[in-house]
Amino acid sequence: MPKRPAQDTYSAVDAFVEATLFAAPDEALAATVAATAAARMPEIQVSAPQARLLEILCRAVNARRILEFGTLGGYSTIAMARTLPPDGLLTTLEFDPDHAEVAWENIEAAGLADMVDLRVGAALETLPLLASEGAGNFDFVFIDADKLNTPAYFAWALDHTRPGGLIFADNVIRDGAIVDPEADEAAAAQRTFHEYLAEEPRVTATTIQTVGSKGYDGFTLAAVLAG
């Protein structure tokens, strides 16, 4: 019987993918990882292969308006903002002012300050302000902040994303916690999120389980349907 692969293999495969597909040095992303670690922030940014998936999805929808929940050190922010055309804008929402400060330094160093609008505060408090400013018509939304609020962030995102746009929610599986009745509230919120999606006629959505350097997890990807 072949041995069932485990974390060491998942990490080795991600290392292989990075060494082959991402062999060219990416100074902005490498500097962002280093600055995030140096600031002793949680090192929970998307992996390099996951960042590339976000980049590909942004390109696929010709994203000109991107919304991100959860900036951390700006790693996923930079990966996505780099796909924008000159008149594009990525709005990113971050609760922790210390994270936001580190992120802004990384975004500036990456030469993306003109393309990124970083808003500090709890996302649920920032969203009404964005709405009052007329924000919307997003092409791509990346939901990656506090997991308890994923359903609420998705609901807002759906009302502000154009038909044909995509909404991506990270960390919905968490080692299978989504199907563990004893799991915490964040996992329960992912169940609620799926029950809500099942009743939402404005999207078609799927959830994909993943393994990699960040362990066993997964994401939900939803396409906003026309009219």
> Max alpha carbon distance in the chain (Å)?
60
> 101, 105, 117, 146: which one contacts ligand SAH (CB under 6 A)?
146
The one-character DSSP state at 69 is E
Integer CA distances (angstroms), 29 to 13, 25, 36, 64, 78, in order: 20, 9, 11, 21, 7
Written as six digits, the tokens of 129 are 């302000």
Written as six digits, the tokens of 155 are 């609901």
> 122, 129, 155, 208: which one contacts ligand SAH (CB under 6 A)?
122
Sheet order of strands, 203-212 included: 116-120, 89-94, 65-69, 138-143, 161-170, 215-224, 203-212
26's contact among Mg ion, ligand SAH, ligand DHB, none, with CB below 5 to 8 A by partner kind, is none
What amino acid is encoded at 89 in this protein? L
Q: Which is nearer to Mg ion, 64 or 91 (CB)?
A: 91
26 binds ligand DHB (CB under 6 A): no
Q: Which is nearer to ligand DHB, 88 or 218 (CB)?
A: 218
Q: Which is nearer to Mg ion, 191 or 202 (CB)?
A: 191
Using CB under 6 A, list all residues that contact ligand DHB: 44, 144, 170-171
Using CB under 6 A, list all residues that contact ligand SAH: 44-46, 70-72, 75-76, 93-96, 99, 122-123, 144-146
